Amino acid sequence: MTTSLSETRFVHYYRQILLPEVGESGQQTLLQSHVLIVGVGGLGTHVAQQLAAAGVGHLYLMDNDKVERSNLPRQVLFAAPDIGQNKVDIAKRQIHQHNPDVHVVAWPWHFDLDSVAIFIQQQPLLSAALHQQKLTVLDCSDNLTTRHSVNLWCVEHKLVLVSAAVSAFCGQLLLVDLQNAQHAGCYRCLFNEHAITQDCQSMGVLGPTVAVVASMQAALTLKHILRVGAADDHLHVYDGYTLSWRKLKRQRDRHCPVCCTPSNSPISHQREASL
């Protein structure tokens, strides 16, 4: 049986608790949830800030970048004195100051299948959440290689992935949940490793566009954790020129090398690294 919130926490999250989809039990669920954020740049800083404010109890931040001056217009947790420091360390400090309820772990490494295995081994709470499939993964990275690695890892471990990307005035967002929306497939079903993409470094990006897409990524994550509505099976595309969203129904690729075998059943990608 779930214990009641303390008076301090009840007051802190009161306006959120008023929502019938949340309530006191939902707020407890958020406080007990675990979210891994890969990439603490434009998307990642906004998402981490919003999830922490909502009371997501355990945040794991993974990024090997340091703060640069060109980051400041859109990466809202950083300021000029932070230039040259690890992004994850600054983000952890800022989040803790805003909401001490949140347990934040900073890991200043680039995501790949080996580095995340080391990270898991060093974090007992994260390891338990992973093996119980109670970990939600957010891909906030800025390159296709990392996105495919994150997708592969999530499919292998049967984890829900919320992936977002932004370039110029536009963005895209999708949720991969092969347990509840198998028909929608995974990230690889939509984008192969050789897809032509441009990131914010090569094409530029408008700061508010990042904030819009990140807010939707945070909202989709909270909906998933709280089990609000059915599992999302769309690709959401944002057009900053017209300030509009489009929803495209996703379909699983029966020949996807990540989430399907020829008989259309999930597979475990063969590799040596283990947890």
Domains assigned to the chain: 15-274 (3.40.50.720)
Choose between 13 and 274: higher pLDDT.
13
What are the angstrom distances between the C-alpha of 178 and each of 46, 75, 96, 158, 231?
26, 31, 33, 7, 10
Mean pLDDT within 219-224: 98
Q: pLDDT for 7-54, tens place per residue? A: 999 999 999 999 999 999 999 999 999 999 999 999 999 999 999 999
Q: How much is the mean pLDDT over the chain?
A: 92
- Res 192 pLDDT > 90: no
pLDDT interval class at 270 (50, 70, 90): very low
Question: What is the per-residue pLDDT for 208?
Answer: 95
Query: pTM of this prediction?
Result: 0.92
Question: What is the per-residue pLDDT for 271?
Answer: 39
> CA 172 to CA 139: how far, in whole Å?
12
Q: pLDDT for 64-89, tens place per residue? A: 999 999 999 999 999 999 999 999 99
Question: What is the per-residue pLDDT for 269?
Answer: 40
Question: What is the per-residue pLDDT for 196?
Answer: 54
> CA 188 to CA 40: how far, in whole Å?
22
Question: What is the per-residue pLDDT for 198?
Answer: 53
Query: DSSP assignment of 55-109, as one string?
Result: T-SEEEEE---B--GGGTTT-TT--GGGTTSBHHHHHHHHHHHH-TTSEEEEE-S
Selection from 68, 56, 47 nearest residue 13 by Cα: 56
pLDDT interval class at 264 (50, 70, 90): very low
> CA 218 to CA 47: how far, in whole Å?
5
Q: pLDDT for 93-123, tens place per residue? A: 999 999 999 999 999 999 999 999 999 999 9
Mean pLDDT within 184-194: 91
Selection from 245, 166, 244, 164 nearest residue 209 by Cα: 166
Question: What is the per-residue pLDDT for 199?
Answer: 52
The helix (run of H) or strand (run of E) holding residue 38 is strand 34-38
- Res 275 pLDDT > 80: no
pLDDT interval class at 4 (50, 70, 90): confident
CB-side exposure of 240: number of CA atoms within 13 Å? 16
Residue 260 is among the residues annotated as catalytic for this protein: no
- Res 242 pLDDT > 60: yes
Question: What is the per-residue pLDDT for 197?
Answer: 53
- Res 177 pLDDT > 60: yes
Active-site residue (options: 154, 200, 256, 260): 200
